[in-house]
Structure 1
Amino acid sequence: MISKSYKFRDESAPRKIEDANAVMPDDWLEDEESLIPDPEAKKPDDWDDSMDGEWEAPKIDNPKCKDRSGCGPWSKPLIDNPNYKGKWKPPRIANPNYKGKWKPRQVENPNYFEPHPFSQLQTITALG
């Protein structure tokens, strides 16, 4: 029998989807990179191209993008998918016959006794 919660369930729906109503801001610089090589950075004196590889200047934030909405390729933001329900899991129901965690029954052992190791010794009357 298929559960009612499983009927008509699309498990292939993605968790996030692109916002269909989103538009690129007017001040977005699509042709500019958001990070550029630092123009003030200099190649270290002890840099060896044959051992260390080709030197690349560290990247800094593009100053042209500072007072803009952004730079670089624009993509629509992702929003939560209202049709996403995740992987189906069967509902858990309480077991009316559950009596708690199982533990073995404890029975009296008729052969059990407390050992007294010094009970077999004779009485000591002197030390020395």
Structure 2
Amino acid sequence: MAEKPVDSLSESEAEAELKRLAEEIAEHDRRYHTEDAPVITDAEYDALARRNLAIEERFPALVREDSPSLRVGAAPAEGFTKVRHAVPMLSLAKAYTDDDVTDFIERGRRFFDRDKELDIAFTAEP
């Protein structure tokens, strides 16, 4: 069944949807971060998070204490040690548009104090 567009949700529908999304995203966080056994793609997860945020922006009074938008990261799985990256991980944010990519490149250039004439190499994964 297709989801109802956010701009068509009533307040009570939005409240129920935010509850559902908080529970579903928490379950996916657990599967991904604790069990290392995700059952949805990153793109599907991102779509859930974007829908949650869109509903919260339309109904700010309904933001839940357990909202995924208020959480930062997850508890690390046991058995791992801390690692310092040899190369800084400047951004793990998502880019959905050409403008997002352009903004990321410009932030990188400013961070490394590189002029626009110098090439910057990138690695991307699907």
By the TM > 0.5 criterion, same fold? no
Between structures 1 and 2, the one with greater helix share: 2
Which TM bucket (shorter chain)? under 0.3
Please report the TM-score for the alignment, with normalisation by the length of structure 1.
0.16
